[in-house]
Amino acid sequence: MLNKNGPKSKTTNYRRILEQKAEEVRRSMSAQKAAQLVSRLDVPSDEGDLSQQHHEEWIFLNRNTIDMRHLREINDALHRMDTEQYGICLECEEPISTKRLDAVPWAKYCVTCQESIAARIAAGDLVEDELEEAEK
């Protein structure tokens, strides 16, 4: 069976890569959580230690937010596979190049549309949250 992006075996390979990446992100998040909990066992002895602890918590929360977004992108790509929409640009509805999918298997957009969206975000014409909401 062929999809718009090539042989089914290629899609199967992308699925395997995406599932492995999702597991890697989950493991990373678990390791970060464990490290964060261990570091909290130490009671800060002064304001400097407390400041350092707050900074580490801020880094943890930001990293966790990035990991959650990445995991969502991976899960969205797996869902597009299930609905036979994987490899099709969400903006122009043209096939995403194999070269791009090889580099970023969770890609939602072709290179041209991704660059256009990034430019609109940078110019303030588009807010990332609005874009995510429109994709749903």
* Distance in angstroms (rounded) separating the CA atoms of residues 104 and 114: 12
49-103: pLDDT as tens digits: 777 777 777 777 778 888 899 999 999 999 999 999 999 999 999 999 999 999 9
In the chain, the domains with their CATH numbers are: 2-135 (1.20.120.910)
9-36: pLDDT as tens digits: 788 999 999 999 999 998 887 766 666 6
* Distance in angstroms (rounded) separating the CA atoms of residues 87 and 109: 8
Structure tokens at 14: 């992308």
Neighbours of 53 (CB within 10 A): 16
